[in-house]
Structure 1
Amino acid sequence: MSEPTKFLLQPNPKDPRLSTPVTGIDQTGAAVSLNVVTERPLTLYLNSQEVVTMMTIGDYPDLLALGYLINQNMLKPTDEITKIDYDDELGVVVVRTPVETQFEEKLKKKVRTSGCAQGTVFADVIDAFADVKLSNTTQLNTSWLASLTKKINTAPSLYLEAGAIHGCVLCRQDEPLVYMEDVGRHNAVDKIAGWMAVNDEPAHDKVFYTTGRLTSEMVIKTVMMGIPILVSRSGFTAWGVELARQAGLTLIGRARGSRFLVLAGEDRIVFDANPADSIDEDKRHKRKAAQS
């Protein structure tokens, strides 16, 4: 048996804070006990301004907070961060900058009227999205894709431990680097964006893998991170495909074993593998997916 994939960073499936045992009965009336993922609120502040309250499993709150602000175009990856404070008891994380950011005044106005900043943020993100230029030199070999999906699907994860969770993986060629999971796929994406910012990790040569659907939100976040290739084991939405084509993003869905579909950015694909020679998904992962 091959050794499990070693990531630079990943969730700990055995961390008792991330899942909890729950008892119930099955279809026969027999008693059962299973682990279910936790879900807790995390309120994010940018300096003294409250931004949003997110539901999350609770790991890597600093990376989640920083990545959220970057992906919402509230901060740039190059902006100076003086400190990130986290209070586990209160469920609060504060990202601090040396000077007030350009978004804080907008947020104040938005909060006074509706209590939610999302409408303002969304418009700003869409404006920034149109200006992103993705690398045209990055390629994805089909042999890498088959290798990646096998390594990711067989890695220890909260998904295999408890289900009901999304996973996202930052990859380079056929090497998975950072694995994040959360109850919302957007949270998993934001954690990776935060990690990239903290480690000054370049995006032009990366592949982004997600277990979730290829929606407009997933496409926007991937493009905002500067990553040119997005892969999912799930399907597409029409707007997600349209946005990917506009941005020049390579969009690969239904990637399971040797099978996949490309609906945008096919010029980056290098067909160097014979699909008949590829091994399909790990059977354990298939069974788990069917049960979730």
Structure 2
Amino acid sequence: MTAEDQDGNAIEIPVVVERPLTLFLNGQEIVTMMTIGDYPNYLAVGYLLNQNMLRADDVITAIEVDEDLELVVVRTERETNYEEKLKKKIKTSGCAQGTVFGDMMEKFETIRLPEAEFRTSWFYDLNRKINAAPSLYLKAGAIHGCVLCEENRPLVYFEDVGRHNAVDKIAGYIFLKGLETADKIFFTTGRLTSEMVIKTVQMGIPILISRSGFTAWGVDLAREAGLTLLGRAKGKRFVVLSGAERIVRDVDSAAVEDEDPKHQRGSRRGEG
């Protein structure tokens, strides 16, 4: 896109493109999301799971994407009708139009996360690998990234204009691939808000890491659920505010190199 720099010179800069995507569950319109447009199947299924509109035992019979009409339809064997649920949705602190429905907390309170460990050597490996991976964030900014990991290995990386969309893609990927989550780690560039914590717990992932900071309610919910929460995770440093018993410090941080400044994802003002 053409722009002008501080001296009035014409320049070309990369800009993230966002577009609407309207989600239907069977015959009912659920929501219109602003998204970068990739992986609509994962985004749609993850959104429905995180809003408790899909159950873990639901059978999806079809996912239909129409790029021209900018819509995606998820069809299930079970008959669904969420008119009343849609009336009681509440906004959260997520970017754009992230929402959490009133009965999500009822499910949240029943979830018990698995025992797990998280080695600091894994953290340093993941930090280096994720920060060096090609991404829209490094190219254009104005975007959030979420990574599903196992030990020191990034498994899949999704980006979107809102962190709620990126985490929904992770949830949809897990469901459609039939993955176990007890040994997984969730790494995000976004703030550790109540919404991020709730969705991570609902996915059954015991470790959540962010390059950004925390909200007080996010920390309270993580402690209630027994979620290990690492924030401000940049270079060799991180802060643990919940679930510290899972941390195995098998590397001396003094021996770890600081990261290259050009790879400091999530540190730009206004992009947490």
Q: TM-score range by the shorter chain?
A: over 0.9
What do you get for the CA RMSD once the two structures are aligned?
1.7
Per the TM alignment, residue 226 of structure 1 is displaced from its structure 2 partner at its CA by: 0.4
> Which residue identity is paired with 2:120?
T
Q: TM-score, normalised by structure 1?
A: 0.86
* Residue in structure 1 matched with residue 83 of structure 2 by the alignment: 108
CA distance in 1, matches of 2:110, 2:85: 25
Q: Which stretches in structure 1 are left out of the alignment for 5+ residues?
A: 1-21
> Which residue identity is paired with 1:193?
A
Per the TM alignment, residue 52 of structure 1 is displaced from its structure 2 partner at its CA by: 0.7
Q: Which stretches in structure 2 are left out of the alignment for 5+ residues?
A: 91-98
Moved more, 218-227 or 120-129: 120-129
Per the TM alignment, residue 279 of structure 1 is displaced from its structure 2 partner at its CA by: 1.8
* Residue in structure 2 matched with residue 118 of structure 1 by the alignment: 89
Map 1:1-292 → 2, pairs under 5 A? 22-101=1-80, 104=81, 107-109=82-84, 118-119=89-90, 122-136=101-115, 138-286=116-264, 289-290=267-268
8 Å contact kept, 1:52–1:117? no
> Which residue identity is paired with 1:179?
Y
Deviations 1:83-103 (A, max 9, x none): 0001001111000012313xx
CA distance in 2, matches of 1:275, 1:243: 28
CA distance in 2, matches of 1:288, 1:52: 27
Q: TM-score, normalised by structure 2?
A: 0.92
8 Å contact kept, 1:214–1:240? yes
CA distance in 1, matches of 2:178, 2:78: 21
Q: What is the total number of aligned residue pairs between the two structures?
A: 262
Deviations 1:170-190 (A, max 9, x none): 000110001000000010101
Deviations 1:126-156 (A, max 9, x none): 11000111012x1000111011011001100
Identity over the aligned pairs, expressed in percent? 60
Higher helix fraction: Structure 1 or Structure 2?
1
> SS at the partner of 1:187?
helix
> SS at the partner of 2:68?
coil
CA distance in 1, matches of 2:57, 2:142: 34
> SS at the partner of 1:93?
strand
Per the TM alignment, residue 125 of structure 1 is displaced from its structure 2 partner at its CA by: 1.0
Change (3 A) 1:219 1:271: same
Per the TM alignment, residue 123 of structure 1 is displaced from its structure 2 partner at its CA by: 1.4
CA distance in 2, matches of 1:157, 1:142: 24
* Residue in structure 1 matched with residue 94 of structure 2 by the alignment: none
